[in-house]
Structure 1
C-alpha cells in the first residue's frame, strides 16, 4: 500500500491541500490570544463576613471558626485560609482543579445558610464571590493633581474613568486603590455629651433624621398640581454643624456644640502615592481567556482619549503594564524560534549541499508550525511561553520524516530510476515507517496529558502543541515531500557540482574518516567504553538529585510588590 501515491499523481490537489493548511494556520495565528502562561482557572471562592465593632479575636472565634467547621465538610476543598481584622473576617476556599466552581459555590451558600444561627446577632450575613488568584491586574494608572483635592480627584477616577474603562471589551473590572470618597467626619467630645446627658445613639438618630432625601409630596389643586421639593440632604461639614440633634431644658443642642465636624474622606487609613505625592491608582483586570496584549492596547487607546477630557491640572500617568513583559518575552521566544529554523535549514544544506534538496524538507517546517496554529485555535489555546517553547522544540522533530523520505527517493534516483518512479518506489518503501515514527514520537507526550494538579494543567497545552506539530509534519512528509521530489529533484548524473560542493565533500570525507577511526578505537576497548557509559549514567543520577528544583524559573519583569 502506497500512502503517498495519490498525492504524487495529483500535484494540484496536494498543492491546494497545503495552501489550505497555510491559509487556516495564518488566520488562526492572527486570532490566537497572547498571554504569559496557559490560562489555568483555580476554583477559588472568598467568603466575607462583617460585624461592626468586633475585635479580631471575637471575629476569629465567633465568626470564622463556625464557618470554617462547616466549610470543612464540603467535598473537594484543597486549602482553606482565613484572616480576621477589626469588624471583618475573610475566608478563602481553594478547591481541587477538577472541582466545578459553580457546584462548589452552591455548596458554600448552603454551608453559610446552616451556620447563620450560630453567628452573633447583628452580623452582616456572610457573602461569597468566585475569584481567580491568577487574574492579577494587567495595567495600572496613577492620577494626581497639585490643585484639586483628593475627593475631587476620586470623583473623576470612579465616575468618569472607571465606568468608561469597564465598558472596554475584555475588561472585567477596574479597582480603585487609595480611594478618597468625600465624607463628613463627626468627632464627639465625651465631656460635652456627659454634661448634657446625651448618648451617642441620640446624636446618630438626630443626624440621620436631619439628613434625609425623601419625596415631600404633591399639592393637588382644582386646576393644577404642585410638586413640593425640599432638599433635606446636607452636603458639607459647614451645613452639618448647625444641625439640631436634640433638646435639653427647652434649648436646642446643635452638633457643633458636641464636638468637631470635619470635611474628610470615608477611609482615611489607606492611601496611595505615586512619585512621592498622593494619588488615586486605577488597576484594570482582564476577563478570563481575554487576550492580555489586546486588552491592554484597548485600555491605552481609551485612556489616551480620556486624558484629553480631564482638567489640565490632573496628571494621568501609566504606572505599569504587564503586556510589555509579555510582549518582550514572546519576542525573545519568537526570535529563538526563527533562529532555530534558520539553523536547521543551514544544517540540512551543509549535509545535502543541494538547493532543491534542501528546500523540499525545509518546507515541512513552516507548514508544520502554521498547521499547528490552526489546531491551537480550534482547541482554544493561546500563544504563551510554553506553547512557543513546544513549537521551538518541535523544529528538530518535524524535519526528520521529510529527510527520511527525501533520502530514500534520492537513493533510488542514484541507481538510475526516473524521478517520478523513484518517488513512487521510495514513498512506498518508507511510508509505513514514517507513519510509525510520527505516531511513536507523538505518543511520547501522551503521559503529560494525564498529569494532575497545576503542573498538569500548564503542560497539557505544551504536550498537545508539540504532538500536533509532529502529526502535521508527518502528513506533510507523506504528501508534499514526495510530490516535490518527483517534480523538482534532478538525477545525480544531471546535477552539476561547483567548487563549494567539492570543498565540502572533502571536509565531509575527513569527518567520516575520523569517525571511523574513533569508532574502531572504541570497539577495541569495549569494557572501558561500557564502564565510561555506566559512570556517565551514575553522574546523571547524582546531578539530577543535586540540581535545584522549582516550579517555574524566576523572571525579572522590573516590578516589586
Structure 2
C-alpha cells in the first residue's frame, strides 16, 4: 500500500493527477458518440434473385433450392430460409453469432458463382446483401404545400431538401416517397404502328441511339489539336418531338407517330400527412456516426431552409430517433444525478459530518470521469445501456470509499493523527475492498463467452459497470485518504444519534441470535423455501417493451385492389383514429414499391401509417394502451386486414411466432388457419396473422406452342410483347432545366389494354415480318395467381405471428402450447409446430446467462478463497448468494415485473455485490480472532463495528437505484428490471449478512470446537 502513503504525503502531486483526470474525462465525454443502443452486428445476410414471369413453385425449384444448397455448405451456418414469390426469391442466411460477416458474405458470393451455371437463362446474377440495423432511417420528414400543390412540394423535396441534407456529414442516403413522379410519355396506337411497320422495340432502339453525345477523335486546326464531339442529346421536349423516324412509308416525325406529353407515371405511391398530400423523405446515416449529432445537423439545415423557402411550404418531422435518444439519455442521466444526491443524503445522515460527506460525494464525479476515460479508449458509445451501467454503478461507486472513510473516521476518534489515520485506516481495509471490487467485476467475465443478441446488448453495460468499479477503487484507495488527511475534522463533542440507538438494538438482536442459532438459521431457511411458492406467479419475457411515443398501423386490402380503393379505406381509418387525443401526427403511404418487389410486384393494396404520439409526460396512457384503443376502434372496418404495433426496440422478433413446417403447402395453410383460430382465444393474444398471402387475381395467358411455332415465335416473344405493352419501355432520359432527368417511356394507349378483349387484339411481330393478334396463338382468361412459398432448412414453412398485451410472454406461450397440444392434430411426423420469435430468443438468452451465472458464482468463490487464503470463510460468505432469492422473488412479485434478460443481468451483478458486506464483516472478524478474541466476543464486536459502513453502502446502492426502479422518464424500461432485482436482493442480503452470516459462523465455530475437544 505504498501508493496510499505516497498519496497522503504528496498532496500537490496527487492534486495534479485529479485535475488531469477531470480534464481528460471531460474531453472523453465530448468526443464520445451518442446512440440509442450499442452498435449491433447481426450475423445475417440475404441473397436476392429475380426470374421474371416465374411462378412461386418454379422459383422454389429453379432458384431457391439451388441457392439454399449452395449456402448450406458455408461454415458457421445456423439456418437457411427462403421466400419464393412470383418473379423472384429471397434466401435468408443466418450464421452463428461471432462469425466474421465480411468473410461470410465473400464465401456466399463464391458459392453463388459456383451455381450460376445451373440457374435458368434470364435470371439476373443473384445479389448478396448484409442485414444492418443502421440501414434503418434515423429520421423521416414530410414536405407539404398549404396551397395544396403537391407537385410544388415534390419539387422542393427533390431540389432543395434532399440536396441540402445529402451534403451533410454522416448522411448515407436520402430517399423520397410519395408525390407525383413526372416522366415523358410516348402514347402509341398499336394499329398505327403496325401500318408503318414499326414496333415499340424499334422505337426504343431508335430514340435511345439518337439521344447521346459521342467522341469523334481529334482534328488539327490552326496548329492546335482539338477533340471532336458529336452532340446529339435532346435539349428539350421539342427536340424529341421533331425526331425523324424511318418507317416503311418513309421518314415520319416522332410527334406524328405517337402522342407526346409530360405527365405523372401510371403507378406511383401516395403519401399523406394528417390527411393532406405530402412528400416523405427517409434519411439514413453512415455506420458508426453519431446519431444525435447527425440529426442535429439535419435540423439546423432544415431551419435554414425554412427561412429561405416560401411560407406555403412546410417541413415537419415525422420520426426522429435522436429525439427519443436525447429524452432517454436525459432521463437516465437525471436518475443518475438524483441517485447521487440520495446517496449523499444517506452519508450525511449517518456521518453527521459535512466534511466527511463532501469527501465521499467527490468520489462520485471523480469515479464517473475516470469511467468516461475508460469508455472512450475502449470505443464505447453513450447509450441507454452504458449510461444505465453508470446509473447502476453510482450507488456502488461510494461503497469502497465509505468503508475506508468510516475506518479512518473511527481511528481519528480513537486519537490517531490525520495522516496516520488515513494511511493506517486504508491499509486495514484495503485488501478487503480490493477483494470486494474483484468479486463485483469478476461476475462479468462469463459474459465474454456468451453470444447472441442479449450479449451484444449487455456486454457494454458489463464493461461500464466494471470500469466504474475500478474507477471507484482507485478513488477510494488514493483520493479518499488524500482528502481525509487534508480536510477531515472531528467535532469537539458528538451527540448520540438515532444510529447509536439502532446500533444498540442490532447488538441485542445479534446477541439473541447467537443464543438461539438453530432457530435463527431455521427461520431463514423457511423463508427461503417459502419464496419458491412465489415462482409460479412470476412470468417471463425477453426484453421489456419501450414507449418511444410511436405507433405503426398497417392496412392490407384484398390482392389486386387499386390505389384509389386503398385510399378510400385510409379515409375510413383516419375518421376512426381522429378522436385519439394522444396522436400528434399521422403519416401514411399507399402503394409504391414493396419491400419485396420481385417480379414487379406492387403494394397498391397496402397502406402503412407512422403515428407520432405526444411526449410521455403529456399523456396518461402508454403506447401499448393507445395501440389497443386504436385496435378496437379499427375492428369495425370491413374488408381490410389491419394491424397496430407499438414502437418497440426494433431488434427483437415478434412476441409470438409459431413455425408450422411440412411438405404440402395446402396442408400447411389449413394448419395455419386452425392455429390462428385457436390462439385467438388465448387471453392476451392480439392480431394473429400468417405470413403467407392469398393468390393475386391475374390474367392468365396460355400460349399454344404449335400455333406459335408456325409463326416462328415462342413464349419469350409473347411475354416480352405483353410486358412492353402493359409496363411500357423506358427508351431514354430527357435532361430538365436544373439537372434532373425524366424517363422517356413508350406506352400503349390504355384503351387498347384496358380489358381482356382488347388484350386479345394486341399485335405480335412474327419472324417473317408480319403481325398477328395475340388471340391467334394464345388464350386469355382470368385466374388466381400463386402467393408465396416459404422454406426453412429446406422444408416448407408457414409462420403465424401475433402480438401480446397485458400478459407476459412465458405465460402466454404455455397457454398456447397447451391449446395446440389438445386441439391441433398433426397429419403425421413430417409436420411440426415450433416456437420462434422472442420465445426462442428468450430461451436462448436464459440458457446462456444461466451458465454465465453459474460460472460467476464459481469465480466469486475463487477470488474470495485467494483473498482469505481459506476455503471456509468464502464458503460461509457464499451463503448470502442463494438467499438473495428471497428478495428477488419478493421484488418481482411486488412490482409485477416478469423475469427477463434484464433481471438475469441484475442477478449476475447482484452475485458480485451481495458478498461485499460479508467480506468486510468476516475480514474484520478474522482479524479479531487472530488477536485472541473468542468467537462470540469477536462477533459481538465486529458486527456493531461494521454495522455503519454496511448500512451506508447498502443504502447508497439502494437509493441510487430507486429512480431507475420507478422508471421515471423515457428509455428507462430496460434498466428497471435490473434495478428491482438489485434493490430487493441487496436489501435482503444486508439483513442476511448482519444476522444470518455471523450466526452461521458461530454455529460452525461451536461445532469445530466440540469436534476438537472430542479428538483432543
Q: TM-score, structure 2 length as denominator?
A: 0.49
How far 1:474 sits from its partner (Å)? 0.9
Distance change (3 Å), C-alpha of 1:228 and 1:325:
closer
- Deviations 1:237-282 (CA, angstroms, capped at 9, x unpaired): x987887767456796978778x76644457243322222333211
**Count of aligned positions:** 550
How far 1:203 sits from its partner (Å)? 5.2
Map 1:133-532 to 2 at 5 A: 133-145=133-145, 153-178=153-178, 180-185=180-185, 201-202=201-202, 204-205=204-205, 208=208, 212-215=211-214, 231=232, 233=234, 247=247, 263-265=262-264, 268-310=267-309, 313-491=312-490, 495-497=492-494, 505=497, 507-516=498-507, 519=510, 529-532=520-523
CA distance in structure 2 between the partners assigned to 1:325 and 1:527 by the alignment: 55
Conserved 8 A contact 1:142-1:319: yes
3-state secondary structure, aligned to 1:363: helix
| Segment drifting more, 141-150 vs 115-124 | 141-150
Unaligned runs of 5+ in 1: none
**Map of 1:75 onto structure 2:** 75
CA distance in structure 2 between the partners assigned to 1:262 and 1:87 by the alignment: 32
How far 1:14 sits from its partner (Å)? 1.6
Greater RCO (CA < 8 Å, at least 6 residues apart): 1
**Map of 1:124 onto structure 2:** 124
How far 1:390 sits from its partner (Å)? 1.1
Map 1:11-30 to 2 at 5 A: 11-30=11-30
CA distance in structure 1 between the partners assigned to 2:254 and 2:424 by the alignment: 106
- Deviations 1:372-424 (CA, angstroms, capped at 9, x unpaired): 01100111111111111211121222212112112222222222222222222
**Map of 1:103 onto structure 2:** 103
How far 1:532 sits from its partner (Å)? 4.3
3-state secondary structure, aligned to 1:144: strand
CA distance in structure 1 between the partners assigned to 2:183 and 2:54 by the alignment: 23
Distance change (3 Å), C-alpha of 1:243 and 1:546:
farther
Distance change (3 Å), C-alpha of 1:165 and 1:11:
same
Unaligned runs of 5+ in 2: 553-1016
- Deviations 1:218-253 (CA, angstroms, capped at 9, x unpaired): 9989879997876564866x9878877674567969
3-state secondary structure, aligned to 1:4: helix
CA distance in structure 2 between the partners assigned to 1:14 and 1:421 by the alignment: 18
3-state secondary structure, aligned to 1:315: strand
| Segment drifting more, 143-152 vs 272-281 | 143-152
CA distance in structure 2 between the partners assigned to 1:234 and 1:92 by the alignment: 46
3-state secondary structure, aligned to 1:157: helix
Conserved 8 A contact 1:8-1:486: yes
3-state secondary structure, aligned to 1:125: coil
| Segment drifting more, 461-470 vs 523-532 | 523-532
Conserved 8 A contact 1:48-1:90: yes
Distance change (3 Å), C-alpha of 1:196 and 1:399:
same
How far 1:473 sits from its partner (Å)? 0.9
CA distance in structure 1 between the partners assigned to 2:489 and 2:252 by the alignment: 111
* Matching of residue 558 in structure 1 with residue 549 in structure 2: yes
CA distance in structure 2 between the partners assigned to 1:228 and 1:135 by the alignment: 42
3-state secondary structure, aligned to 2:410: helix
CA distance in structure 1 between the partners assigned to 2:196 and 2:529 by the alignment: 89
Distance change (3 Å), C-alpha of 1:403 and 1:125:
same
Conserved 8 A contact 1:49-1:126: yes
Distance change (3 Å), C-alpha of 1:97 and 1:219:
closer
Conserved 8 A contact 1:33-1:382: yes
CA distance in structure 2 between the partners assigned to 1:222 and 1:475 by the alignment: 82
**Map of 2:38 onto structure 1:** 38
CA distance in structure 1 between the partners assigned to 2:12 and 2:193 by the alignment: 97
**Map of 1:548 onto structure 2:** 539
Conserved 8 A contact 2:148-2:277: no
- Deviations 1:168-202 (CA, angstroms, capped at 9, x unpaired): 12222222223754223456566667788865544
CA distance in structure 1 between the partners assigned to 2:320 and 2:436 by the alignment: 45
Distance change (3 Å), C-alpha of 1:367 and 1:216:
closer
| Segment drifting more, 366-375 vs 427-436 | 427-436
Distance change (3 Å), C-alpha of 1:536 and 1:234:
farther
How far 1:118 sits from its partner (Å)? 1.8
How far 1:87 sits from its partner (Å)? 3.7
CA distance in structure 2 between the partners assigned to 1:220 and 1:508 by the alignment: 103
CA distance in structure 1 between the partners assigned to 2:233 and 2:470 by the alignment: 75
3-state secondary structure, aligned to 1:140: strand
Conserved 8 A contact 1:41-1:134: no
3-state secondary structure, aligned to 2:280: strand
Distance change (3 Å), C-alpha of 1:459 and 1:403:
same
- Deviations 1:529-557 (CA, angstroms, capped at 9, x unpaired): 54543344345445456433333211111
- Deviations 1:49-101 (CA, angstroms, capped at 9, x unpaired): 33444445544433333222212222233344444455444334343331222
Conserved 8 A contact 1:42-1:134: no
How far 1:8 sits from its partner (Å)? 1.1
Conserved 8 A contact 1:2-1:431: no
CA distance in structure 1 between the partners assigned to 2:233 and 2:328 by the alignment: 58
3-state secondary structure, aligned to 2:540: coil
Cα-Cα RMSD: 3.5
CA distance in structure 2 between the partners assigned to 1:291 and 1:200 by the alignment: 51
3-state secondary structure, aligned to 1:480: helix
How far 1:470 sits from its partner (Å)? 0.7
Distance change (3 Å), C-alpha of 1:233 and 1:55:
farther
3-state secondary structure, aligned to 1:554: coil
- Deviations 1:119-155 (CA, angstroms, capped at 9, x unpaired): 2222322233334035421111112336797666545
How far 1:450 sits from its partner (Å)? 2.5
Q: TM-score, structure 1 length as denominator?
A: 0.86
Map 1:77-96 to 2 at 5 A: 77-96=77-96
Conserved 8 A contact 1:155-1:181: no
| Segment drifting more, 396-405 vs 1-10 | 1-10
